[in-house]
Chain A
Amino acid sequence: MKLVKAVIKPFKLEEVKEALADIGIEGMTVTEVKGFGRQKGHTEIYRGSEYTVDFLPKVMVEIVVDDADTEKTTEAIVKAAKTGKIGDGKVFVIPVESATRIRTDETGSEAL
């Protein structure tokens, strides 16, 4: 099993979710996160003083999939989340040791 971890632009979440549903992914966990990469931050003004916002809002999507599904999952996310502009985000794939469904005690691929 692999953990696919994608950091994407918040407004792309809906499209990514639908793309994943289309290839048969049945569940995911999303978190509102902040961060920066090459995009860096931008400046804002509050009561007359300028300040830099380094950490921009992003959404992190986490999905655990079978090894065989890793590639098409990554492809689906990249395709759906791409705008072509800086700040589109990144996708990471990390090995997963085990998975257990709490309700039924199923483990491994059964639990996904």
Chain B
Amino acid sequence: MKIKKYLLALLLSSSAFLMTGSLGAEIVMSAEAAVASGDELAGDYLALLEAQGEYAYAFDFFTTSMLWTVIAAALVFLMHLGFATLEAGLTQSKNTVNILFKNVFIISIGIISYAVIGFNTHYPGDFNGWVSFGSFIGDLSGPGMDTFDYGGVGLAMTAYGDFIFQAMFAATAATIVSGAVAERVKLGSFMIFATILVAIGYPVVGSWHWGGGWLGGLEGGFYDFAGSSVVHAFGGFAALACVMLLGPRAGKYVDGKIKPILGHSMPLATIGVFLLFLGWFGFNGGSVLSANPAGVGLVFTTTALAACAGALAAIAISWIFLKKPDLSMALNGILAGLVAITAGADAMGPLASIIVGAIGGVLVVFSIIFFDKIKIDDPVGAISVHGVVGIWGTLAVGIFGGAVFMTQLIGTLSVSLAAFIFSIIVFGILKATIGIRVSPEEEAEGLDIGEHGQEAYPDFASSSR
């Protein structure tokens, strides 16, 4: 009812606008009067404003910021589709169902476990700086939780907004591992590992920085804006540990030679990277934690520049050293630029962000070749993109962003080492007990049939209809 009245007023005023070419003062007044005179919507707005109490003056900024936060959260959610398609594209078609299944599971368990234990472990409030296990989030509404009181100007969102934005991040760490172990990991073992990683490993290590833990006590304070270390390097080095325990895919390294196992769809991989690029505007842009115009504008710019510089650098390097402009390397270059800028997206200008992204793009190509040489088989390049470049991005803030270099070094190495050791222990226990690798027969046949009894592309001569 009240919406109808509002729409009518809007219609009246806009049709008048069309006829006269400008909004007559009289019509504006009558429209306003129609809305205001005893209209419930206007009353609701006043009540909402009143509820903000002394913060009523900041209400519009708060509303805008909260809106931006949930949009950013939705963009980070979209990154999971990006990861899923990138992974599916860079692996063989016989494992596509398995890849997609893992990604569906990870986003689901990631957000649920973040509610059950993760959020309050990640942000424990006062704690010893190392570990504090949280409990279920419970009801996050009520006084001090859903008003400007919750975080003021610096964290201009409600507690629910804060939760859902951070929850979208949490699953990312496990997704990074998923790509590196693709095409040979046993599904059940991976699901157990991913659950423990996102429920305990990620929030505990994350609390060292974002939860107000010990990394903040280092000289100058550890600086990692949106998580080059605490999200990406964490995921990358967890992936390295898992791949070391798992071994390479059958047929990848034969008689000391690298035999590439081709991804089955470069279009899917490309779609994935563009989705990740888009989602990253939410990942970094939302990490401003408000709609502060100066911050959001800068972060969008540095994020885009670094990604593009990463792509160009990877293209140039692969063209010169591999003699071909390799599309998959260009895609990894975009991601490398994005990972590299994530730590300092709000702390450096355009020129620095281009340099940081470009170095990320160079690093990622050499890193992928290096890991292949030492027989660390990573089908999607996750260890290089997220692990190696994550460290670079964190250090870069110590060079270009005014942070203390030694603090950055200690911080990023601690986070990476913690992820590595945590994963070696958890995945190692799984290896010793239920096993982490499918049988050679199943690997040859494909995990789609072996683990799921399904095919991703079943359209040729389907046997029973």
A contacts, CB < 8 Å to B:
45-49, 51
Are the CB atoms of A47 and B259 closer together than 8 Å?
A: no
The answer to whether B318 and A48 touch across the interface, beta carbons within 8 angstroms, is: yes
| Interface of A (DSSP majority class) | strand
Please count the residue pairs between chain A and chain B whose beta carbons lie under 8 angstroms apart in the complex.
30
B98 proximal to A (CB < 8 A): no
- The residue of chain A having its C-beta at the shortest distance from the C-beta of B323 within the complex is A45
Chain B: residues with CB nearer than 8 A to chain A?
A: 258-260, 262-263, 318, 322-324, 326, 328-329, 365, 368-369, 372, 381
15 further A-B pairs in the complex, CB-CB below 8 A; given A45-B323, A46-B326: A45-B322, A45-B324, A46-B260, A46-B263, A47-B260, A47-B326, A47-B328, A47-B329, A47-B368, A47-B372, A48-B322, A48-B326, A48-B329, A49-B372, A51-B259
Kindly list the 4 A-B residue pairs having the minimum CB-CB distance in the complex, ordered from nearest.
A46-B260, A49-B258, A49-B260, A48-B369
B210 → A minimal CB distance (Å): 34
- B328 near A46: Cβ-Cβ < 8 Å: yes
16 A-B residue pairings within 8 Å (CB atoms):
A45-B322, A45-B323, A45-B326, A46-B262, A46-B263, A46-B328, A47-B326, A47-B329, A47-B372, A48-B322, A48-B365, A48-B368, A48-B369, A48-B372, A49-B259, A49-B372
Q: CB-nearest residue of chain A relative to B252?
A: A49
A98 to B153, CA, bound (A): 86
* Chain A residues, Cβ within 8 Å of B324: 45
Contacts of A46 in B (CB 8 A): 260, 262-263, 326, 328
How many angstroms from the CA of A61 to the CA of B368 in the assembled complex?
43
**Nearest chain B residue, comparing its CB with the CB of A48:** B369
In angstroms, how far is the closest chain B Cβ from the Cβ of A32?
A: 12
CB-nearest residue of chain B to A46: B260
Docked Cα-Cα span, A17 to B288, in Å, equals: 62
Taking each of A47, A49, A51, which has the highest tally of chain B beta carbons within 10 Å of its own beta carbon?
A: A47
Please indicate the chain B residues that have their CB under 8 angstroms from the CB of A47 in the complex: 260, 326, 328-329, 368, 372, 381
